[in-house]
Structure 1
């Protein structure tokens, strides 16, 4: 593995506890039957939202009266193995590090043979709904991310 955000692959892999499952749909493949390279970001989005829901972080962000919303500041993917139509994947998510108003999430996708097929990372920043400026995490939010990293 050559992803610059992974120092020790075994330690990194062992740090994941949450995952969401997906099955590669025909419409997500290219003419060769491979998973289209843009579709992994939709898988990251799905797993990220499920992860944040599991931490009870989504409720305030989807409240139209809420003061803050999350934005994805950056996102990257590193492909390890080919993925094909109808494969079942587990998309793992964890908080790798927490900043004042951001969290660096890491992703790992495994196939049914328990092989890593792609990895990724991306920063999510909490911003003010009206100002568009970063808004710091509360102590409780920091604690929840730290406990789940």
Structure 2
């Protein structure tokens, strides 16, 4: 028996973002290429931040830079699957946030992949870390586990 931790279910996540797969997401093996999963993570988190007013990609004086990322794959996905990204916040520091994302294929209850990334929030002009802005903290609060 394998010692690998099984995938989590949708119940482990706080917010959900639908993502449309594209024909170009498939690789020569007929499934979504591994690098696309990272784009799904980024799309899901930034969609929430933008929709909830915590990020204006063109003008926000504070932006998040990715300093760490990882992914565990459980089941293949392929175009034209529907993907739902479940999002939660596992840690909030003074200037950093660890986002965790589960990717769910179609109506599956168990994640096809689970990943994380850490944003360090910096001043856009100086690129130096700054405390999390209040607007961001308000968006993160209901996502925290």
Equivalent-residue separation in structure 1 for 2:79 and 2:32 (angstroms):
7
Structure 1: gaps of 5 or more residues: none
Query: In the alignment, is residue 128 of structure 1 matched against residue 123 of structure 2?
Result: yes
Instruction: Please give the alpha-carbon distance, in whole angstroms, between the structure 2 residues aligned to 1:83 and 1:52.
Output: 26
Residue ranges of structure 2 left out of the alignment (5+ in a row): none
Q: What are the residue-to-residue correspondences of 1:19-30 with 2, within 5 Å?
A: 19-30=16-27
Correspondence for 1:85 among 72, 79, 83? 79
Output the TM-score relative to the length of structure 2.
0.83
Aligned-residue offset at 1:15: 4.1
Q: Could you say which residue in structure 1 is the equivalent of 2:5?
A: 2
**Are 1:19 and 1:91, in contact at CA under 8 Å, matched by a contact in 2?**
yes
Counterpart selection for 1:38 from 35, 43, 54 = 35
Q: CA RMSD in A?
A: 2.2
Q: Normalising by the residue count of structure 1, what TM-score does the alignment of the two structures yield?
A: 0.81
Q: For the residues of structure 1 that align with 2:50 and 2:70, how far apart are their CA atoms?
A: 22
Classify the secondary structure of the residue corresponding to 1:110: strand
Q: How many angstroms does 1:140 deviate by? A: 5.2
Structure of higher RCO (CA pairs closer than 8 Å, 6+ residues apart): 2
Q: Distance in 1 between matches of 2:28 and 2:83?
A: 20
Mapped pair 1:98 → 2:101: no
Q: Quick check: 2:21–2:80 contact (8 Å CA) kept in 1? A: yes
SS in 2 for 1:104: strand
Asked if 1:76 is matched to 2:73, the reply is no
In the alignment, which of 114, 119, 129 is matched to residue 114 of structure 2?
119
Q: Which residue of 2 aligns with 1:58?
A: 55
* Shift of residue 74, structure 1, vs aligned partner: 1.3
